[in-house]
């Protein structure tokens, strides 16, 4: 099979690591990097740290308004697809790069495989929610990470081409867990922090960064936490803190340690050793569960509802009081294994490859039918605390 894969933003590079490895062992893959993320710490560091093949082309689209960014990518990707004429276009997740690639392929009648299909936050104010819905609508193969995702698609009347190979993020998490330092002290020293309890924070959603009052509330919550807060800053968040004249307050707060955006293994190292993670990212909520780190999500809804149901994740929005309460409760409440634990075996990428091959040969396997609902336990977490 000739497959064109399109990536552009951090979470997609991470998913491409196990997927490209399997695809290239069996097929001919051409990798497009849209250039949505372009700083060394936002892009190149992932390719180096995760051993992802060099992109065959970088479209260098860069930042911009959603319309301009998505539109430019659509035009440029369509040109590459016209020249490459693949059997299939593979896209990941829910970024503007995902949507642009899906639309470009759909308009050229090229089949689309969507890895991480069926996720929904049910909040259409999130650009990612629109990207997911639109991408699922035009996809031929909808590769779901969870049963909840399969159910979402069914409710929207999509059941053709839907399968449940599991979450490739687990594949990466299991790989990474064997490579990060086992010693918390060693790891923290690397970041110039004494060996002590800490909360890892990441914030980048426009809904949390672009409104001064909201961002000030989050900063107040973090600076008042009774623990060290290690906070790798997304470029947008840094720019907003500067423009609202709040960066000083953060750098001068005694309990905050600001870091630049981190590579994947550095970040996982911190995640594995953190006592709590606070994030508005989608993927980090799930990764926190994989590494058994309690998570406070600075949003009012989540695509990963399983993490909340299992007790590993508490939704706190952006209100300082709720954030403080969630910080306490997530550490003390009972927790159990994630749903779909039987799919966490490090073979999701291989199952996706098999699904693509089955489709290409005219007989798609149906994991949604094949995988029974099992009783759940913690045995598939990537580590034991
Ligand atoms: C994008 C995705 C989001 C994903 C996130 C992971 C969309 C709509 N959003 O959000 O789903 O969770 O990536 O990080 O696609 N910037 C830099 N250097 C870079 C990249 C960005 O300085 O290398 C700055 C620019 O000012 C840019 C801003 O960050 O305008 C936002 O970047 P953008 O790619 O538009 O969205 P993210 O917030 O990163």
**176-233 per-position pLDDT tens digit:** 999 987 788 888 888 878 889 999 999 999 999 999 999 999 999 999 999 999 999 9
- Residues within 6 Å of ligand 1 by CB: 9-11, 36-39, 42, 63, 94-96, 127-128, 204, 235-236, 239, 281
pLDDT (mean) for 277-305: 97
pLDDT (mean) for 343-351: 97
Domain ranges of the chain: 2-167+342-375, 182-330
Residue 383: pLDDT band with limits 50, 70, 90: low
Cα(321) to centroid(ligand 1), Å: 28
Alpha helices of 27-108 — where are they, by DSSP H? 44-49, 66-84, 96-107
Residue 258: pLDDT band with limits 50, 70, 90: very high
Residue 377: pLDDT band with limits 50, 70, 90: very low
Name which of 95-99, 297-301, 360-364 the model is least confident about. Answer: 360-364
Task: Give the whole-angstrom CA distance, residue 126 versus residue 261.
Answer: 23
Which one of 65, 95, 169 would you pick to mutate in the ligand 1 pocket, going by the greatest count of ligand atoms within 8 A of its CB?
95
Task: Give the whole-angstrom CA distance, residue 198 versus residue 230.
Answer: 7
In this prediction the pTM is 0.93
**Cβ–Cβ under 8 Å, residues 148 and 309:** no
- Which token pair is 320? 């300082």
pLDDT (mean) for 99-115: 98
Q: Which sign does the torsion angle of CA 295, 297, 302, 303 carry?
A: negative
Residue range 2-167+342-375 forms a domain whose CATH class is alpha beta
Task: Give the whole-angstrom CA distance, residue 2 versus residue 27.
Answer: 6
Cα(82) to centroid(ligand 1), Å: 27
Q: Do the domains at 2-167+342-375 and 182-330 have one common CATH topology?
A: yes
pLDDT (mean) for 267-294: 96
Has residue 323 got a pLDDT over 70? yes
Residue range 182-330 forms a domain whose CATH class is alpha beta
Give residue 69's pLDDT: 98
- Which token pair is 119? 């996720």
* Atom 28 of ligand 1: nearest residue by CA position: 236
**Cβ–Cβ under 8 Å, residues 204 and 281:** yes
Which one of 236, 242, 263, 304 would you pick to mutate in the ligand 1 pocket, going by the greatest count of ligand atoms within 8 A of its CB?
236
Give residue 188's pLDDT: 83
Give residue 236's pLDDT: 96
Give residue 77's pLDDT: 98
């Amino acid at each position: 099979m000739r497959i064109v894969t399109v990536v552009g933003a951090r979470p997609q590079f991470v998913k491409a690591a196990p997927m490209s490895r399997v695809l290239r062992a069996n097929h001919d893959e051409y990798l497009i990097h849209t250039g949505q993320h372009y700083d060394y710490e936002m892009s190149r560091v992932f390719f180096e740290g995760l051993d992802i093949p060099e992109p065959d082309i970088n479209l260098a689209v860069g930042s911009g308004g959603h319309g301009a960014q998505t539109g430019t990518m659509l035009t440029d990707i369509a040109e590459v697809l016209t020249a490459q004429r693949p059997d299939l276009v593979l896209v990941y997740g829910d970024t503007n790069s995902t949507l642009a690639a899906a639309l470009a392929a759909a308009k050229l009648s090229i089949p689309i495989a969507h890895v991480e299909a069926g996720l929904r936050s049910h909040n259409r104010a999130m650009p990612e929610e629109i990207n997911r819905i639109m991408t699922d609508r035009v996809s031929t193969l909808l590769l779901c990470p969870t049963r909840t995702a399969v159910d979402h698609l069914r409710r929207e009347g999509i059941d053709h081409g839907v399968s449940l190979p599991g979450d490739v993020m687990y594949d990466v998490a299991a790989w990474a867990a064997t490579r990060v330092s086992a010693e918390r002290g060693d790891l923290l020293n690397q970041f110039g922090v004494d060996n002590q309890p800490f909360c890892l924070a990441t914030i980048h959603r426009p809904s949390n960064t672009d409104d001064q009052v909201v961002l000030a509330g989050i900063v107040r919550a973090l600076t008042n936490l009774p623990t060290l807060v290690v906070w790798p800053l997304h470029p947008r968040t840094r720019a907003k803190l500067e423009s609202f004249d709040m960066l000083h307050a953060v750098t001068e707060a005694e309990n905050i340690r600001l870091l630049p955006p981190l590579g994947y293994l550095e970040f996982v190292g911190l995640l594995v050793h953190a006592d709590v993670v606070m994030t508005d990212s989608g993927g980090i909520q799930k990764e926190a569960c994989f590494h058994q780190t309690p998570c406070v999500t600075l949003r009012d809804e989540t695509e990963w509802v399983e993490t909340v149901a299992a007790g590993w994740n508490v939704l706190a929005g952006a209100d300082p009081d709720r954030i403080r309460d969630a910080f306490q409760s997530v550490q003390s409440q009972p927790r159990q294994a994630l749903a779909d634990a039987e799919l966490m075996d490090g073979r999701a990428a291989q199952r996706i490859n098999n699904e693509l091959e089955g489709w290409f040969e005219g007989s798609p396997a149906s994991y949604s039918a094949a995988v029974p609902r099992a009783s759940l336990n913690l045995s598939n977490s990537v580590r034991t605390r």
